[in-house]
Amino acid sequence: MRHPQRGRGGGGCGRGLARGGGGSAGRGRGNGHGRRPGGVKGRERESDGGIIGGSKVLVMPHRHEGVFIAMNIKDVLLTKNLVPGETVDNEKRISVQNEDRTNVEYRVWNPHRSKLAAAINNGIDNIWIKPGVKVLYLGASSGTTVSHVSDIVGSEGCVYAVEHSHISGKGLVTMAKKRTNVVPIIEDARQPSKYRMLVGMVDVIISDVNQPDQAKILAHNASYFLKPGGHFMISIKANTIDATLAAETVYQKEVEKLQMEELRASELLPLEPYEKDHACVFGGYRLPRKHKAATAT
Ligand SMILES: C[S@@+](CC[C@H](N)C(=O)[O-])C[C@H]1O[C@@H](n2cnc3c(N)ncnc32)[C@H](O)[C@@H]1O
């Protein structure tokens, strides 16, 4: 398993509510904007659409497909806004004019508010989420990270977003009214049978439920919805699992629990400085066994 940073510090997308039965972004190592096809210049906007200082922003594709980076201001992470003109969490927007004079709008993705963004900034090798992918998101809250995942997977992809709190769920449902690739599901992620009619097989599960039994919750959902050979990301808050152990020990124990459920970790990444004593684990599900080496004749 890859440990980029050792040590502590650490059913179909479409319309409708599924309910009831059924910062300092550029820091660190993760700004792997490996591809550099001609960047585009734009102006940073406040969420009400006003221009801040009129400064020019150079937007480049990040090495993670569907993620972008604003290079010359603060190297902030961006996603291309699927619903131009709309914000989800009062985030800033950057409007860019292409050479053909069409406009593209990006939304700033704050790593202090999203563990997935924090993982990208901390150098995760592969997020497995890209345009066209189907994602099941457990612990969607009011939809901040879900909305950026929705931007990344785009109109060909889909995000099934599960949240059990009706209060947080309200924001999620409101957000999904404008984002037709998000299916909000107000249910307990411990009971996937209740939403099995709404969710198709997915390529990736993101789990951010912050519960002591979260490995079981992820495994249970994987058994229903995750394609063999699919991938997962789970965030681990050490104190939620066991406050008496060192965070690294907790992470390793969680990795072992996942392994027992055929969820094989490939990367474990602490999320400092964005989240204290948090880590993300990425990996694959029911991965095919490695081919046996050819026997010599
Ligand atoms: C850390 S917050 C998630 C933040 C969110 N992922 C984001 O980045 O915007 C954890 C969320 O999981 C939800 N949650 C906890 N247990 C759950 C369960 N059993 N089923 C569904 N949601 C749950 C909580 O209500 C809370 O909104």
Query: Which residue has the CA at smallest separation from atom 17 of ligand 1?
Result: 209
Which residue is associated with the tokens 């904007």? 33
Alpha carbon of 179 to ligand 1 centroid (Å): 20
Per domain, the residue ranges of the chain are: 40-108, 115-285
Superfamily of domain 115-285: Vaccinia Virus protein VP39 (3.40.50.150)
Q: Tell me the pLDDT of the chain (297 aa) as tens digits.
A: 776 543 333 366 754 444 433 333 333 344 444 443 335 566 655 443 333 445 678 899 999 999 999 987 677 999 999 999 999 999 999 998 878 888 899 999 999 999 999 999 999 999 999 999 999 999 999 999 999 999 999 999 999 999 999 999 999 999 999 999 999 999 999 999 999 999 999 999 999 999 999 999 999 999 999 999 999 999 999 999 999 999 999 999 999 999 999 999 999 999 999 999 999 999 999 998 765 444 433
- Could you tell me which of 92, 100, 108, 82 has the C-alpha nearest to residue 38? 100
- List Cα–Cα distances, 209 to 37, 47, 151, 152, in angstroms: 38, 28, 21, 21
Alpha carbon of 162 to ligand 1 centroid (Å): 8
Query: Which residue has the CA at smallest separation from atom 11 of ligand 1?
Result: 139
The answer to whether residues 149 and 116 touch, using CB atoms and an 8 Å cutoff, is yes
Which of 147, 163, 211 has most ligand 1 atoms within 8 Å of CB, for mutation? 163
DSSP string, 258-279: HHHTTEEEEEEEE-TTTSTTEE
pTM (2 decimals)?
0.86
